[in-house]
Structures are given as C-alpha cells and as structure tokens.
Structure 1
Amino acid sequence: MKEHSIKLSILSMLADGSFHSGEGLGVALGISRAAVSKHIKGIQAWGVDVFSVQGKGYKLAQSMQLLDQQQLEANVNVPLALIPVIDSTNQYLLDRIHSLDSGSVCLAEYQSQGRGRRGREWVSPFGCNLYLSMYWRLEAGMAGAMGLSLVVGVAIVEAMEKLGISGIKLKWPNDLYYQDKKLAGILVEMSGQAGSAAHLVIGMGMNLRMATDAQGITQPWSCLNDVTNHEIDRNQLAAELINTLESALNDYEMSGMHGFVERWNRLDNFLDRDITLIMGNREVTGVSRGINEQGAVLIETAQGLETYIGGEISLRGSAS
C-alpha cells in the first residue's frame, strides 16, 4: 500500500476528470514533474486511461469515483478492508481465514492477479469495476456448501434490483449475464476438514465500466453502465451487495437451498432455451429447465429430464 501512495494520491486528484498540470501535482505531493510523469506511467499500467496535453497537463479520459472506506463502513455491519491495489481479494482473505470474523469483506480498486473459475484470469483494471470478496464460516461444513454459488448469484441480482437495476440474469452455476453477455463472475473457494466448519471465500468481479478494446477478455461481455445508461455510485452498489449477500448467507445457513430454487429460476438466463452442457470431452444438448433443490442444472434431453452438477453451459450453436 505504501509504495502506491503517491499514485493513489495522483488518481484522487485526477478523479474529477479535469486537467491538472504536472507542476501542480508535483507541488501538491512534494515531488518533481519528472517523478509525476513516472507515476503516471505506473497508473497507466493499472489500465487507467490518462492522457496529457502540452500546456494543460494530465487528465483522465473519464472522471472516476473511488471507493471510500468511511462511507462503506457507515453503511455495512461487517468488518471491511479496502486495499486499493492488491494481488487478489480472494487470496487476501484466504491467507487470513483463521483470524477473520465470518462476513469479513475485502474490496480493491485493482487486482494484479484476479482470477476466475479453473484458474482463469479475471481482467481487473483500476477503478473501472467492482472487486469484492467475503469470508464466511459455514458451520454445516463442506458438504453443506452445495449450491452456495447459486445463492450468491441470486443475492447479487436482488441487491441490484433493490437499486432499481433490472434485466440482469444468471448463468448456472456462477455468472451474471446481461443480454447474453457476461456481466460478472463469482468464485467460491473453500477449505476445511470433515466434521468441522467450512471456510468459504466468496469472490465477485463485476464489470461497471470497461474500455471497448479491453485486453485479455475472450468472451462476449457487458458492463453495468450498459444496463443503466448512467454512472453507478460504486460505494452505494458495494454496500448494497455486501448487506444483501450477508443476509442471503444467513438464510442459507438456516434453511439451505429452500426458497432459493424459485428465486434462481426466476432469474435463469437460459430457462427454456436450447443449450449445450460441456463437461470435458462430453457434451449434453437439450432444453434448460432451471435447477433443483441440490443446485444441479436440469436439462430435458431426448432421454428425459436429466440432472448435472458440473460443466459449462453455452447456447446451442453459439459460444457464450
């Protein structure tokens, strides 16, 4: 954190979207104009679009709302760590599970090693999106975590609905979609021993505002700004997600999947559509019929209604 303090201070000053001279930034921070230029290059390496105009100075391509620790803490009831630059919010919590209270949250502005399912990279430019992880101690143990990522997906969509954001759907087992394009991903990482509580770290990365030429993304994607057509209050969104997720996990702890199946099926992006479920070298084609009480996906095939607990869904005849 300390080594990034000057870059973060520069970003805080540039966040208003106005021009700031290199000289003015240097005076405010007690550094040279050359040092300012060097830090700007470091900021650009975080994926921030900063440009300079001779005689005017530096300017962000778009204004930026930074996450605010005090504002967040005033609106949530769980321990919260805001670490602007981090390797991975999930990894931060995984490294500390034995000293954390259940419900503890880590947020970041930028992840250098953000990851999705199966070790995939999650592209994480600074200040554009939302990177959030929560630690949860599940007393029911690892066997009780079946279907938990589905519950998390429901909670995230319902949180956005509370903010008046509609049209978001779920892709089994762990993605959020808007108009058949990926909006957010969920990664649940778990550890524990048989007969004891399970330690869960639930990570979420959501696209809020991404450059149209974003590098490293290999599938169709969307941003929340595409849904709302206006800038999202990132602090308000983060607080609502945290509170709704905590409530949903408490419900899940008490009642398991009961009540969540109907809530999930209401939001299923692929319900009653032709799909292909890909499981390694095997493919199953049929019509999606939602999920069951165990969190398995239901597919109506030529052989009848079949259930599956693993694999990747795609629309039949098109990558998704």
Structure 2
Amino acid sequence: MTQIQVYNTGSNAAKAQLLREKLALAGVFIYQRLDSTNAQAMRDLAAGEACPFLVLARQQTAGKGRRGRVWESPAGAGLYYSLALELKAENRNLAALSLVTALSVHAALTELGVTNLNLKWPNDVLNCGRKLSGILLESMIRGGSQFLVIGIGVNLNLPAAIKTSLGQPVTDLAALGLQAADPDEIASTITGYLIGRVDEFMKTGFASFQAEWNSLDAFLGQAIEVQLGDQCTAGEMLGVNEFGELRVLTEQGQEVLRGGEILPSVRRQSVSGEQS
C-alpha cells in the first residue's frame, strides 16, 4: 500500500507557489521525502492531475533509473525532478525526447555557469567525461490522451562514499564550483528550456535538434561499443540521425541503432543509472 505523502509544507509552500506562477504550471508539488518523483508523477496522472505539473523532492528513497536501476538520492545531494506533460499532438518518435531533454538540461546548466559540458547518447549530461545528470522518461495513456513524465536527476553534492561506489566516473555541481546551487533555481531554468523544446519537437520532430546534439556529443568520431541486450555493436561513432538514432560505422558498414548503451557503462557494476 502506497504511503500518503505530504507536499508543500513549511517553506516549500511559498517556493512551490513562486515556481508555479513563474513557469505558468498547473501545479508544483515539493516533497521533503518521497519514494520517487517519477512514481509520484505517474500516480498523480492516474488520479487525474491537470498538466503541466512539476514534482520535486529533497530526498528519494527509491529513485528510479533506466533499465530498472537505482538513482542514489540522499537528502540535499541532488535535484530530483519530474515534469508531467500532456502531449497535444501525435508523435511516433517519443524516444528522441530523451535526447531533447538532455539538450535542455545542458542549456540550463550552461546558463547557470557550468562549463565543459557534453552529452552521451541517449541522455546523459557529462562534465569532462564524468556523469553529472541523467534522465528517465515514462508515458501513460489516460482517457484517450497521451501523457509523458520526464524525470531528471542532477548531482548537486554527492557524498564521497556514493561517488566511489557507483562504478563509473561521476561529478556534481559542488565539485564544479557551485557549492550553493539552489535546486529550485535549477528546476526553474530546466523547465523553461524543456517546455519550449518539447513544444518544438512535437511540431517539427528531432531534425531541428540533430546538429546541436552532434556538436555536443562526447563520443563523436571515437571507437565505441554499444550494448543492447546480449548484442554488442562496435565501430566508429558517427553521431545521430534526424530521428535521434545512433549511427555507427562497423566493419560491415553503417548501422543505425534505436536503443542500447555506449560502453563502458554502469551496467557492468549494476549499481546506478539515470533518474528519476
């Protein structure tokens, strides 16, 4: 049985109201402690909550990552964020919204003063090869309409024990000189970029984002391995196509991959993944 959680208590009430008014959202729900912002957003959607709405938590006890992984979410250590949207137009390439989300996070963090950022397909934001942010998208059909929950995690100030246990290079904003980073300010800036870019994507598809992604891709032109299930594809990374799919030049010629993970990845350690 799901435990009822209380939101917008204490100082969070005023912060939620400011965010809702600034971003013109139907609702903003800030929790001190929550199992998962994505899980809560999906519950809210199922209960009929009006979109767009934003769920934030100061701590997650069961943060969700891609492929069933855990996103480590101690109190005060990260931004734990889920934005719920109703998709007004049909689009059969929703997987590419992961890339659009990563571009939005990149733009927001750059605006806030973070430098040396690049991207790892399909949706990681890196700083000098170290993971700073990850993304998890989930969708729902309700009453004949399609809804999307965009989960984002940004590392703010991870405990040293977590950094050493994750099995991949990670970083956080504190290590990059933003020790006093305000999670609500970060959430506001990300949301501003995200809503505009999702709207553009729903109208034009991924093609208008292709060049921007390829200019920021950390692995462009490098030898990579991409694992999808039991299959592993090795070759030169050629960037993404107009659908956000990965192009790899193998010994057999060019292959287009619609899913998978560029290795080495945390999958080998079975510890962490993308948010939220």
TM over 0.5: yes
Question: How far did 1:69 drift?
Answer: 2.6
Larger deviation: 85-94 or 218-227? 218-227
Question: How far did 1:142 drift?
Answer: 6.3
Equivalent runs, 1:1-320 vs 2, <5 Å: 68-78=15-25, 79-98=27-46, 99-141=48-90, 143-192=92-141, 196-214=144-162, 217-228=166-177, 230-314=179-263
Q: SS where residue 147 of structure 1 aligns?
A: helix
Distance 1:196 1:304 in 2: 42
Query: So what's the TM-score if we normalise by structure 2?
Result: 0.84
Question: How far did 1:196 drift?
Answer: 4.5
Q: Check the 8 A contact 2:228/2:261 in 1, yes or no.
A: yes
1:55-91: per-residue Cα shift (whole Å, max 9, x none)?
Answer: xxxxxxxxxxxx9334433532212111111111111
Question: How far did 1:234 drift?
Answer: 2.4
In structure 2, the CA distance between the partners of 1:277 and 1:144, relative to structure 1 (3 Å rule), is closer
Show the counterpart of 2:274. none
Q: Give the alignment's Cα RMSD to 1 decimal.
A: 2.8
Distance 2:96 2:6 in 1: 39
Q: Check the 8 A contact 1:85/1:111 in 2, yes or no.
A: yes
Letter in 2 for 1:270: F
User: Number of aligned pairs?
Assistant: 259
Q: Which runs of 5+ in 1 are unaligned?
A: 13-66
Distance 1:173 1:165 in 2: 21
In structure 2, the CA distance between the partners of 1:144 and 1:279, relative to structure 1 (3 Å rule), is closer
Bigger relative contact order, structure 1 or 2, given CA contacts below 8 A and separation 6+? Answer: 2
Show the counterpart of 1:30. none
Q: Check the 8 A contact 1:257/1:295 in 2, yes or no.
A: yes
Q: SS where residue 192 of structure 1 aligns?
A: strand
Distance 1:143 1:149 in 2: 14
Q: Check the 8 A contact 2:17/2:28 in 1, yes or no.
A: no
Q: Check the 8 A contact 2:77/2:157 in 1, yes or no.
A: yes
Question: How far did 1:276 drift?
Answer: 0.5
Larger deviation: 307-316 or 166-175? 307-316
Q: Check the 8 A contact 1:110/1:126 in 2, yes or no.
A: yes
Identity of aligned residues (%): 31
Work out which of the two has the higher radius of gyration on C-alpha atoms and give 1 or 2: 1
